Amino acid sequence: MAKKASELVAANVDRLMRKAGLSNAALEKKSGGRLKRSTVDRVRRAQGSAGVDSIAEIARALGFDLWQVCVRDLVPERPPALVDPAIGDAAGLSAGERELLAKFRSLSPAFQRLVLNDLERYLQAESQSEEKKGEHTKRHA
């Protein structure tokens, strides 16, 4: 566990860069020259005190927001996310599932009930379709 904020950021930046296969020079290039490789190196080694703007630029070049590189136990494959009030804590959902949930929650209770009724009919139809496929397969086996 990192003891200081600079060590936490250093560990996260290093982890993200290794995962992306980027060197300090490659990140400098990816930032369009807004970063210097010496700055990236200092941040990765937690040497000195990098400015917030530099850390934000590093995060941006890696496809993250500043706050995300400040989170303990950062897992590059599962970036931290803020909770969207429209969908609550839905971190385990796909983008499509989150979109569906957000749209569902924006409906009035009466329309939510209609959607659920339709969904139930779709599930029954799918189940019957699967049963028929199974019967067809058994007959031809």
User: 44: closest CA among 63, 23, 73?
Assistant: 23
Give the model's pLDDT for residue 117: 95
Over residues 111-128, the pLDDT tens digits come to 999 999 999 999 999 999
Asked whether the predicted pLDDT for residue 138 surpasses 70, the reply is no
Residue 74 near residue 80 (C-beta atoms within 8 A): yes
Q: How many CB atoms lie within 10 A of CB 66?
A: 15
Residue 42 near residue 50 (C-beta atoms within 8 A): yes
List phi, psi (to 5°) of 107. Answer: -80, 155
Over residues 126-136, the pLDDT tens digits come to 999 888 877 76
Over residues 30-89, the pLDDT tens digits come to 999 899 999 999 999 999 888 999 999 999 999 999 999 999 989 888 888 776 665 566
Average pLDDT (95-113) is: 87
Give the model's pLDDT for residue 36: 94
Q: How many CB atoms lie within 10 A of CB 27?
A: 24
Confidence of residue 14 (pLDDT cuts 50, 70, 90): very high
